């Protein structure tokens, strides 16, 4: 059988794994993968109060199929919980990740910030944003987008716009969120400016590192022959969650446009009522027309 990793000069081109530990999980990788799926299912079905017990049992060194302290396992937990809209569990899993000695990276912070906003905890999302900057994690476009949304939830549009202005690589999500912030702030000039920029394609299509960015390179380093589908599937399912976020943003923009059209129609009817001779009261004429 031909070795795909061999070059013409006979040297092996396969890149050795660069992680501190190999990607196998536990003493028996196949058994550990079963434990990963079982743990995920338990987290989906349990009460919030049982999350800690389930995770500590799954990572217990006394088990032969114990899960290794791999951030990708927690990425999977977070993804599945967010898909089921179990925001509180997602936050608790993130907090337990540190207690279990598992590294928390930009991807895990972005995910829990998003969950916190949807779980009506935008202040906590901004606390995590501050922590990311304090410990020196990479602040990506997705990170800023989520932080902007948190400020909007707290009715702080100007702070959201400040983050937008400081953002070097802006995408369409950044622009949409900034437009919503400008409208909430009542800054019509800024809103018009952002709309013009959006129409002209001023936003760059940046890489979605929330789904599969630089911090997820570990998945690409899995040694050939090892079945790691349980973890690599995290990227695709996080994409589904991001699509859900995009759908919410489109719905919000659509609602904004609908309200604007309604206001324009009311203004047109008011002007028309003023011009009529049969009614002296413009508001009364408007009511009759409705």
List pLDDT tens digits, range 196-215: 888 876 555 444 433 333 33
Residue whose structure tokens are 């009817």: 269
State residue 196's pLDDT score: 87
End-to-end CA distance of the chain: 78
State residue 250's pLDDT score: 65
Q: Determine the Cα–Cα distance for residues 214 and 25; give it in Å rounded to an integer.
A: 22
Residue whose structure tokens are 């598992």: 102
In angstroms, what CA-CA distances link 103 with 74, 75, 124? Answer: 10, 11, 20
Within 8 A by CB and 6+ apart from 2, the residues are none
State residue 223's pLDDT score: 31
Phi-psi category of residue 2: left, alpha or beta, with phi > 0 → left and psi -120 to 50 → alpha? beta
The first and second tokens of residue 49, run together, are 């109060």
Q: Phi and psi at residue 210, in whole multiples of 5°? A: -70, -30
Q: pLDDT of 168-185, one tens digit each?
A: 998 999 999 999 999 999
Q: Determine the Cα–Cα distance for residues 57 and 16; give it in Å rounded to an integer.
A: 32
State residue 8's pLDDT score: 55
- List of the chain residues with pLDDT < 50: 1, 14-30, 205-242, 274, 276-280, 282, 284-286
Spatial contact of 87 and 117, defined as CB atoms under 8 Å apart:
no
> pTM for the full model?
0.61
The first and second tokens of residue 36, run together, are 């990963």
State residue 247's pLDDT score: 63
State residue 70's pLDDT score: 87
Q: Phi and psi at residue 208, in whole multiples of 5°? A: -85, 85
Q: How far is CA 125 from the centre of its chain?
A: 12
State residue 26's pLDDT score: 42
Q: Determine the Cα–Cα distance for residues 290 and 270; give it in Å rounded to an integer.
A: 11
Q: Determine the Cα–Cα distance for residues 241 and 176; give it in Å rounded to an integer.
A: 18
């Amino acid at each position: 059988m031909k070795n795909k990793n061999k070059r013409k000069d006979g040297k092996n081109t396969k890149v050795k794994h660069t992680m501190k530990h190999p990607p196998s999980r536990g003493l028996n990788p196949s058994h550990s993968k079963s434990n990963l799926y079982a743990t995920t299912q338990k987290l989906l079905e349990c009460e919030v109060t049982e999350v800690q017990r389930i995770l500590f049992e799954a990572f217990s060194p006394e088990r032969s199929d114990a899960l290794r302290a791999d951030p990708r396992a927690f990425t999977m937990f977070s993804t599945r919980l967010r898909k089921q809209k179990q925001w509180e569990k997602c936050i608790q899993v993130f907090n337990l990740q540190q207690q279990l000695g598992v590294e928390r990276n930009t991807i895990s912070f972005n995910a829990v910030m998003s969950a916190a906003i949807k779980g009506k905890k935008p202040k906590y999302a901004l606390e995590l944003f501050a922590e990311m900057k304090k410990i020196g994690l990479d602040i990506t476009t997705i990170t800023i987008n989520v932080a902007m949304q948190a400020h909007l939830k707290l009715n702080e549009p100007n702070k959201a716009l400040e983050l937008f202005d400081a953002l070097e690589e802006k995408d369409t999500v950044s622009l949409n969120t900034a437009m919503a912030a400008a409208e909430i702030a009542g800054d019509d000039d800024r809103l018009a400016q952002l709309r013009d920029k959006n129409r002209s394609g001023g936003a760059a299509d940046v890489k979605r590192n929330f789904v599969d960015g630089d911090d997820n390179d570990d998945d690409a380093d899995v040694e050939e022959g090892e079945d790691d589908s349980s973890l690599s599937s995290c990227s695709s399912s996080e994409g589904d969650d991001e699509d859900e976020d995009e759908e919410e943003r489109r719905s919000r923009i659509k609602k904004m446009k609908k309200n604007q059209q309604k206001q324009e129609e009311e203004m047109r009817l008011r002007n028309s009522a003023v011009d009529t001779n049969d009614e002296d009261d413009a508001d009364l004429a408007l009511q009759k027309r409705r």
